[in-house]
Amino acid sequence: MTTRVEGPAVPGRDVVLTPAAVSFLAALERRFRGDRAAALARREARAAEIAAGAGLDFLPETAAIRADRSWRVAETPPDLGDRRVEITGPAEPKMMINALNSGARVFMADLEDALSPTWANVVVGQAALREAVRGHLAFTSSEGKAYAVGERPAVLLVRPRGWHLEERHLLVDGVPMSASLFDAGLYLFHNAAERLARGTGPYLYLPKLQSHLEARLWNEVFLWAQDALGIPRGSVRATVLIETIHAAFEMEEILWELREHAAGLNAGRWDYLFSCIKTFGSRPDRVLP
């Protein structure tokens, strides 16, 4: 079994891709590679069924979950109790500092759609997150202007890339690892314990889920990572973006699967519209005006 970093030397690489961090990522990838492949295969099978004329509806096999009023998700952490104003932007030092100082309640540092996933951007983003968690993030522009995080920054959440993407610069046994596991795993490895020590927690945003089974996979990732890092189960909290038409029919089930780690749902309207177009693109009866 081999692990090889294929990306070039970029700022922050030696800080975030330490031997211990790479070993953790490799173990995470090996544990969940098969489960991720199965999830992506389910997506393809479902897409083929819909293209052939099948519809979408609430799942009969999970009706009991939707009908059961007794279950609850975990209690909301105090610093996530007020999310009336959230701001988002790429995990890039200057943008992060401005967002954390913006006065918003929550800042989602984005490793997904807002960040072009070049190797330099991905590594610099992880290094910036590490510095931000420790209160050390600073930046000086080419004009000499200095930026630093203020005394009352927004609560930090991090969005990894979706299940369908790979990080081709880290090969585990000769195969590119999951970009989701790379982003989330590296962030948790460096910052989960530090976040807890500072009275907050490792909070994530999960993009582009298409089913409760994909939420179950994330939940299993969290359980594995928390045990491997020696932090209490339930420390990781995740907000799920409902931005596919498939997930809109499984919201209760998604929360149920993540109930120990759930921090809510959020509507992603632009990707939701794209999901409708992509899902029914070959169906003349479902063409949008």
Instruction: Assess if residue 60 is contained within a domain.
Output: no
Q: Does residue 228 fall inside a structural domain? A: yes
| Mean pLDDT, all residues of the chain | 97
Task: Give me the phi and psi of 138, to 5 degrees please.
Answer: -145, 160
The percent of residues in the chain predicted with pLDDT above 90, rounded, is: 96
What is the predicted pLDDT for the residue at 27? 99
For residue 146, the domain's CATH number is: 3.20.20.360
The residues, ordered by sequence, that sit 6+ positions from 90 with a Cβ below 8 Å of its Cβ are 109, 110, 114, 115, 121, 125
| Rounded mean pLDDT, 126-130 | 98
Give the number of other Cβ atoms within 10 Å of residue 127's Cβ. 22
pLDDT reading at 288 higher than 90: no
β-pair partners for 167: 177
What pLDDT, on a 0 to 100 scale, did the predictor assign at position 51?
92
pLDDT in the model for residue 44 = 98
Q: State pLDDT tens for residues 41-97.
A: 999 999 999 999 999 999 999 999 999 999 999 999 999 999 999 999 999 999 999
Residue 76 lies in a domain: no
CB 48 within 8 A of CB 235: no
Per-residue pLDDT tens for 202-234?
999 999 999 999 999 999 999 999 999 999 999
* Residues 228-254, mean pLDDT to the nearest whole number: 98
What whole-number distance in Å separates Cα of residue 28 and Cα of residue 220?
A: 11
Q: What are 158's two structure tokens?
A: 């991090």
Q: Tell me the β-bridge partners of 166.
A: 178
In a domain, 79, yes or no: no
Number of C-beta neighbours around residue 216 at 10 A:
17
- Band of residue 182 on the pLDDT scale cut at 50, 70, 90: very high
Q: How far is CA 268 from CA 8, 83, 208, in A?
A: 34, 16, 9
Number of structural domains the chain divides into: 1
| Confidence class for position 289, pLDDT limits 50, 70, 90 | low
The token pair that represents 194 in the structure block:
């530090």
Residues near 103 by beta carbon (within 8 Å), at least 6 away in sequence: 85, 154
Asked, for residue 236, whether it belongs to a domain, the answer is yes
Q: Can you give the residue range of the structural domain that contains 139?
A: 3-52+85-286
pLDDT score for 149: 95
Question: 146 Cβ partners below 8 Å, 6+ apart?
Answer: 138, 139, 140
Provide mean pLDDT across the span 165-181.
Answer: 99
Q: In the block, which residue shows the tokens 């800042």?
A: 107
pLDDT of residue 286: 82
pLDDT of residue 281: 87
Burial class (CB in 10 A: 0-12, 13-18, 19+), 187: buried
Beta bridge partners of 237: 203
- Alpha-carbon distance of 47 to 40, in angstroms, equals 11
Domain presence at residue 155: yes
Q: What is the spatial distance between Cα 193 and Cα 156, in angstroms, rounded to a whole number?
A: 15
Task: Name the pTM for this structure.
Answer: 0.96
Q: Which amino acid type is present at position 279? A: T
Q: Any idea of the CA torsion for 284, 211, 175, 2, to the nearest 10 degrees?
A: 180
Question: Is residue 287 predicted with pLDDT exceeding 90?
Answer: no
In a domain, 61, yes or no: no
User: How many separate helices (H) and strands (E) can be counted in the chain?
Assistant: 10, 11
Computed from CA positions of residues 14, 15, 20, 23, in that sequence, does the dihedral angle turn out positive or negative?
negative
Q: Is residue 130 part of a domain?
A: yes
Q: What is the pLDDT of residues 90-108, one digit of tens each?
A: 999 999 999 999 999 999 9
Question: What residues have CB less than 8 Å from 1, skipping those under 6 apart?
Answer: 26, 30, 173
Least confident segment among 23-32, 133-142, 195-204: 133-142
Q: What is the mean pLDDT of residues 123-145?
A: 96
Query: 260 burial class (0-12, 13-18, 19+ CB within 10 angstroms)?
Result: middle
The alpha carbons of the chain give a radius of gyration, in whole angstroms, of: 19
